[in-house]
Amino acid sequence: MFILNEFQINKMNSQLPIKQTFTKESLKKQFRLSEFLAEKVISSIAFLSIAVIFLIFIFVFKESLPLFNFGKSDKAKTEIQASNVGKPESYGAGAEELKPESYGSEATKELKPETYGSEPTEELKPETYGSEPASNEDLKPESYGDTPKEDLTVPATDETTTVSESKEEGKTWNTFLSIEWVPVSDNPRYGLIALLIGTLKVTIIAMLIAGPLAVLAALFTSCFASKRTKEIIKPVIEMLAAFPSVVIGFFALMVLASFFQNVFGYDSRLNAFIGGVAMALAAIPIIYTISEDALASVPKTYTEASLALGASKWQTAFFVVLPAATPGIFAALLLGVGRVFGETMIALMATGNAALISANPFESVRTFAATIGSEMAETVFGETHYSVLFFIGSLLFIFSFALNAIAEFYVKGKLLKKFQGN
Amino acid sequence: MDKVLNESESQFFSGKKSASEIKGKIFMGITQLAVILIIAVLFIILGIIVYEGKSKFSWEFISTFPTNGMTEGGIFPALIGTFILVIVMSIAAVPFGTITALYLTEYASEKSKFAAAVRFSVRTLAVVPSIIFGLFGLGFFIQFVGAGADTVFNGGELRWGQPNILWASLTMSLLTLPVIIVSVEESLKTIPREMREASLALGATKWQTIRKVVLPESISGIMTGTILAVSRGAGEVAPILFTGAAYYLATLPGSLSDQFMNLGYHIYIMSTQSSDVEKTMPIQFATTLVLLVLTLSLNVVAVIIRSRIRRKAK
């Protein structure tokens, strides 16, 4: 506004400025600080969303780093916790809370997780935390505060503990492949296989229900429904996406579970099947919306050409529109899988949460997400269990990231080729 | 011509109209059935929750504290906690979401790699499981930012380095960021190019154009985004499981560093960890009804505003 006024005033003052104003000089883009700042601020805020993705990965992965530390530092911690000895100084010092698993020397590591393999820092460790068991006398199960500083200040060295710890460290990794998930016991076992099977079971059941239903519904909406019906169906089904997952979980827990138990008469009231049905409800709107978009974006000429050749409406829909939209529908299914895989509240409430391994869909299961959700509150900051849960979190994150990337690049590339390549 | 057609094609175009028509009818029927089934299930859920919840649903229920070990009384603190959560969340997420959308539509060039990366990140944010946001809130906001702030400003006294309403809201704002970005972007795209060009032609700079022409036009889009984000944030539980939600609090949160109760979390603990699940069943259904009414009505409002924007664009 301000600049505009100035310009106007200039114009008024000089009678014939027009020809002179548009010289090469004046047409050059003027540098304005406010403009420059606005653009910079806006694009740096836009950068934030990229940064958030990185931060999520770094910070979720960071908490699981102790597991990769074959230098056994975290193990020392677990042992401390197992024997109920924690650090006396506790909460206060925030410095160490920044780098929870960093015993002394690894401070640099924390800042750049990608360098965690660096050996020199690792080598310093044995002396430092051998000292731990010696230094704690207090009973403090919530050992929030073990400071790196503290570790360095206590110079005691204890080689034997270090050795036993390193053995245990290997054990944590071995138990990942076992089939038992017993995180809280004298001999904790973190059998990720059991959780993986549980998660897959629920995902398969949910996708078997949600996939066909949602795709068929999308096909009806985009190919057969009249414009008026379409305007009713679409918002109503998308309304299902507005149902909070805790509400769907609650419904499954209270209503579906009893209903299906009466129908099928199985033993465990909450099981993979109930969880799968409930999660299908959560996945349907996603799959529906994206496949409907994909079907609607098939060029009109395809449909018209097919109809002109004498094919009927359903033949066009089934043999022309559906194949043309396959990549989009594939993307929709992938994102549906991502949703089900990471769904927490429904899994917590409706799957029974017992890590059993069986092919029977009517047995209780425990999923990755539900494990994090239910056990994180009970774990002690910094112990192995805590790190394992964060490790599961990073796995989930990587998985959903990969699914999204596939859906995005592979599918989009294919679609573009299909519709524009010829 | 017949020779050119292979078998399936000749079948495709053959005169067996009746058989194919029947097949078509069946096929169409199946797709129609899928739609009907989905919509029916939706209304069944709605119906059962309304039916079971309405007996307990009253003004008293939403305006009183839970009593008697949470087996009686209302959900007032949970409702207030949810409100504070979504308000703080919106304050954090709306400006950021709007500005990101502005960047994507106004500043980014079509072929910009950076803009493509931003878009990809936004879409990734939208599909990251909500529990991961919870972990991130714990690892970043609480253990890193909060604890760091305690050391620097609080002399090591624990105040921010623990779950509280601020961290829960910020965690939730990351989760709802894509919702806002997508709806603002959509509304920005409906603003005709002529308006921007007219403003630029009059001598206004780009930022002036955005501030005086583009933003006022996109207010309804920002509102839609905010409403959808609030509806999403009010219903999500997983991100706040360990970033601030409390089982029971006798008082309302007084500051941002307090924990809070939340409707969704209330439903979760009442139905899975309550001392007497059977007895509190009506309370659970009524709480679910309140949450559902809240999120669905917000969504309906958003859908109405959005369809208006779209109609205007046409």
| Rounded-to-integer distance, Cα B161 and Cα A279, Å | 34
Output the pLDDT for position A87: 38
Would you report the helix, strand and coil content of chain B in percent, each value rounded to 5?
Answer: 75, 0, 25
What is the CB neighbour count within 10 angstroms for residue B111?
7
Of A203, A273, A280, A272, the closest CA to residue A245 belongs to A280
Residues B165 and B243: their CA atoms lie apart, in Å, by: 8
Low-confidence stretches of chain A (pLDDT beneath 50): 1-3, 14, 16-18, 20, 71-167, 422
From A220, A335, A377, residue closest to B242, measured CB to CB: A377
Please report residues of A whose CB lies closer than 8 A to that of B267.
Answer: 246-247, 250
B283, B105 contact by CB (below 8 A): no
Cβ(B155)–Cβ(B163) below 8 Å = no
pLDDT class of B6 with cuts at 50, 70, 90: low
- The C-alpha angle B258, B259, B262, rounded to 5 degrees, equals 135
Q: What separation in angstroms does the CA of B234 have from each of A77, B46, B91, B296?
A: 38, 18, 14, 11
pLDDT in tens, B129-159: 989 998 898 888 888 888 888 888 877 777 7
**Chain A within 8 Å of B243 (Cβ-Cβ)?**
no
The arithmetic mean of pLDDT across residues B205-223, rounded, is 87
Task: Compute the nearest-CA separation of B194 from chain A (Å).
Answer: 19
**What pLDDT is recorded for position A157?**
40
List % helix, strand, coil for chain A (3-state, nearest 5): 75, 0, 25
Q: Does B60 touch chain A (CB under 8 A)?
A: no
Contact A49 B100 (CB under 8 A): yes
Query: Rounded to an integer, what distance in angstroms lies between the CA atom of residue A251 and that of residue A254?
Result: 5
Q: Count CB pairs under 8 A between chains A and B.
A: 312
CA B57 remoteness from chain centre: 25
Q: Which of B131, B212, B293, B310 to mutate to test the interface with A (most CBs of A within 10 A)?
A: B131
- Of the candidates B94, B138, B91, B124, the one whose C-alpha atom is nearest the C-alpha of residue B239 is B138
For residue A39, give the nearest of B107, B139, B242 by CB distance.
B107
| Chain B residues whose beta carbon lies within 8 Å of the beta carbon of residue A388 | none
Confidence (pLDDT) at A21 = 55
Quickly state the pLDDT bin for B172 (edges 50, 70, 90). very high
A348/B272 Cβ within 8 A: yes
Given phi > 0 = left and psi -120 to 50 = alpha, else beta, which region is B69? left
Predicted confidence at residue A421, as pLDDT, reads: 53
Give the mean model confidence (pLDDT) for residues B49-77: 81
- Contact between B38 and A217 using a beta-carbon 8 Å cutoff: yes
pLDDT band at B94 (very low <50, low <70, confident <90, very high): very high
Pairing of strands B66-67, A189-190: unpaired
Whether residues B136 and A60 touch (CB distance < 8 A) is answered with yes
Contact call for residues B220 and B191 (beta carbons, < 8 A) = no
Q: What would you report as the CA-atom Rg of chain B, rounded to the nearest whole angstrom?
A: 26
Element (H or E) spanning B144, and its range? none
Backbone angles phi and psi of A71, in degrees to 5: -75, 10
Q: How far apart are CA A320 and CA A40, in angstroms?
A: 47
Decide if B191 touches A, using CB distance below 8 A. no
What is the model's pLDDT at position B15?
Answer: 52
pLDDT in tens, B22-62: 888 888 888 889 999 999 999 999 999 999 888 888 888 88
Long-range interactions of A72-75: CB distance < 8 A, separation 24+: A72/A125, A72/A129, A72/A162, A72/A165, A72/A166, A72/A168, A72/A169, A73/A101, A73/A103, A73/A106, A73/A125, A73/A129, A74/A101, A74/A169, A74/A382, A74/A383, A74/A384, A74/A387, A75/A165, A75/A166, A75/A168, A75/A169, A75/A172, A75/A384
B-chain residue closest to A390, CA distance: B135
Minimal CA–CA distance to A273: which of A207, A361, A336? Answer: A361
The pLDDT of B160-185, averaged and rounded, is 89
Nearest CB partner across the interface for A344, out of B107, B129, B292? B129
Region B86-93: mean pLDDT is: 92
Query: With a CB-CB cutoff of 8 Å, which residues 261-290 of chain B face chain A?
Result: 264-265, 267-268, 271-272, 281, 284-285, 288
Give the angle A80-A86-A92 at the CA atoms, nearest 5°: 145
CB B255 within 8 A of CB B210: no
DSSP A68: G
Determine the pLDDT at residue A298.
Answer: 87
Closest CA to A92 of B240, B267, B161: B161
8 Å CB contact between A270 and A351: yes
Is residue B197 within 8 angstroms of chain A, CB to CB?
A: no
At B9, the pLDDT band (50, 70, 90 cuts) reads low
- Torsion sign (Cα): B257, B259, B262, B264: positive
Nearest CA to B31 among A216, A280, A249? A216
Query: CA-CA distance, B14 to B70, in Å (whole number)?
Result: 70
Question: What's the one-letter identity of residue A24?
Answer: K
Read off the amino acid at residue B173. S
Q: What span, in angstroms and rounded, lies between the C-alpha atoms of B236 and A336?
A: 18
Residue B96 confidence (pLDDT): 92
In the numeric block, the tokens 């106004």 are attached to B106
- Taking only residues 137 to 176 of chain B, the set having a beta carbon closer than 8 angstroms to any beta carbon of chain A reads 138-140, 143-144, 147-152, 156-158, 161, 174
Q: Are B128 and A56 in contact (CB under 8 A)?
A: yes
Shortest CA distance from B298: residue in chain A: A242
Q: What whole-number distance in Å separates Cα of residue B66 and Cα of residue B53?
A: 16
**Shortest Cα distance from B175 to chain A (angstroms)?**
11
- Give the chain A residue whose CA is nearest to the CA of B153: A94
In this prediction, residue B204 carries a pLDDT of: 85
Closest alpha carbon to B175 in B80, B106, B264? B264
The pLDDT of residue B280 is 81
CB A338 within 8 A of CB B127: yes
State the average pLDDT for chain B. 84
CA distances from A382 to A65, A247, B26, B181 (A): 10, 33, 59, 36
Rounded Cα–Cα distance for residues A203 and A275 (Å): 9
Among B25, B51, B124, B172, most A C-beta atoms within 10 A, so best to mutate, is B124
Chain A environment of B300 (Cβ under 8 Å):
239
Which DSSP category does A310 fall into? T
CB contact under 8 A, B128 and A91: no
Q: What is the pLDDT of residue A67?
A: 74
| Nearest C-alpha neighbor of A350 from the set B271, B184, B108 | B271
Contact check, Cβ <8 Å, A400/B127 = yes
CA atoms of A414 and B144, how far apart (whole Å): 42
Q: Does B40 touch chain A (CB under 8 A)?
A: no
pLDDT at residue number A41: 87
Phi and psi torsions of A267, nearest 5°: -80, -60
